Amino acid sequence: MKYYLVAGEASGDLHGANLMKALKAEDSAAVFRYFGGDKMAAEGGELVKHYADMAFMGFTEVVLNLRTIFRNLKACKEDILNWKPDVLILIDFPGFNLKIAEFAKAHGIKVCYYISPKVWAWNQKRVLKIKKVVDHMFCILPFEVDFYRTWGMHVDYVGNPLLDEIAQFIPDTAFRQKNQLGNQKIIALLPGSRKQEIERLLPVMLSVVENHADYLFAIAAAPTFTAEYYQQFIGNKNVVLLFNNTYNLLHHAHAAIVASGTATLETALFRVPQVVVYKGGALSIAIARILVKIKFISLVNLIVDQKIVTELIQEDCNPQTVDQELSLILEGTGRSEMLNHYEALLARMGKPGASAKTAVLIRTYLQ
């Protein structure tokens, strides 16, 4: 069977690769073509466009890059029509993928959507469009099933693919030695993978280093940037830079400062107390505050529907407040309370197997 996948970000590349692996286990004749990244490419098939040319963050960034986005949309539509897949599998990335879904549906192509758009956050009426253009939705957040049900749409909760990733992770026993980390307790800094968020968040994260000399700070660096790029922010601070080692870093971390996004959930699943930070463009944030109708921005808090981790957004994301909140989770009751809340989160998340379950359901629905 011919599978066409579209992933527009690093996380989508990861989940797409795992889904491809699971589909191959279900379908020995599986053939893949996709918009994605290096991880998907490692699973075979043909990579049409890399997500590095597609990911734009925030309202203003999208507006500034509209010409590129429209070019990518046109190329994707033409390629889908030329290749004639049996099914189109869209992975998150809703601004782009919902337009592709509408196009594919109009041309009689089956549409599966893996990892729901966050329609529960703002403009919930988008569900009405999703009902028309998506044949099967596979959700990775437990509360999404009830949300879609209120709009009269059946969706499948398949578990969260991060559980799969972490279950497969084998810690490197020589990690500390290889990276000359010594025996100090580690504070992990996860500033994200996009240029805009790194440049807004990393300087604030690094501002607390001198206040915690007993700890070793380590940055989870994105592979799309060089060490020299990060060094301009680090300067002469005693900070370690680690590429392609995020899970090993979290496995050894005592605490973390994390950019809002998927990494907040990964950090929680590794049971690492964290402070969540976020800064966007002034216009983007102003628009978001008008449109977004949710109490929290971090997945950790959203899943349990209560404040587990502190979220420092925009003006609250400053050196003094970040340092204060970090200090609260390094030792004492603030740390133990967060770790206890993580157990409730883990119970709600369920068990690994999201990719395998999704692959089985896709095959079942298509047959």
Q: How confident is the model at residue 283 (pLDDT cuts 50, 70, 90)?
A: low
Length of the chain, please?
Answer: 367
CATH for 190: 3.40.50.2000
The 3-class SS string of 79-108 reads HHHHHCCCEEEEECCHHHHHHHHHHHHHCC
Host H or E run for residue 111: strand 110-114
Same domain, 339 and 362: no
CB crowding 280-289: b at 16 or more within 10 Å, else e: bbeebbebbe
Q: Are 324 and 257 found together in one domain?
A: yes
Residues 337 and 362 in one domain: no
Per-residue pLDDT, averaged over 274-298, amounts to 73
Whether residues 137 and 217 fall in one domain: no
Shared domain check, 173 and 132: no
Q: Over 90: is that where the pLDDT of 327 sits?
A: yes
Q: Are residues 183 and 46 in the same domain?
A: no
Indicate whether 190 and 331 sit together in one domain.
yes
Q: Model confidence over 214-257: pLDDT tens digits?
A: 999 999 999 889 999 999 999 999 999 999 999 999 999 999 99
Is pLDDT above 90 for 65? no
What percentage of residues in the chain have a pLDDT greater than 70? 93
The number of domains in the chain is 2
Contact 98, 129 (CB under 8 A): yes
Same domain (yes/no): 340, 355:
no
136 and 72 assigned to the same domain: yes
Q: By mean pLDDT, which of 30-39, 57-66, 157-166, 201-210 is the weakest?
A: 57-66
Single out the residue of 35, 45, 22 nearest to residue 90, CA to CA.
35
Digit-coded pLDDT (tens) for 100-117: 999 999 999 999 999 999
110 sits in which H/E element: strand 110-114
Prediction pTM value: 0.79
At residue 60 the predicted structure's pLDDT band, cuts being 50, 70 and 90, is: low
Instruction: Say if residue 257 is in the same domain as residue 359.
Output: no
CA 14, CA 16: separation in Å to the nearest integer?
5
> Tokens in use for 124?
């919930």
If you average pLDDT over every residue of the chain, what do you get?
A: 92
Predicted confidence (pLDDT) per residue in 175-215, tens digit: 999 998 999 999 999 999 888 899 999 999 999 999 999 99
pLDDT beyond 60 at 97? yes
Question: Which residue range forms the structural domain that includes residue 270?
Answer: 168-349
Instruction: Read off the pLDDT band of 62 (50, 70, 90).
Output: low
pLDDT category of residue 160 using cuts at 50, 70 and 90: very high
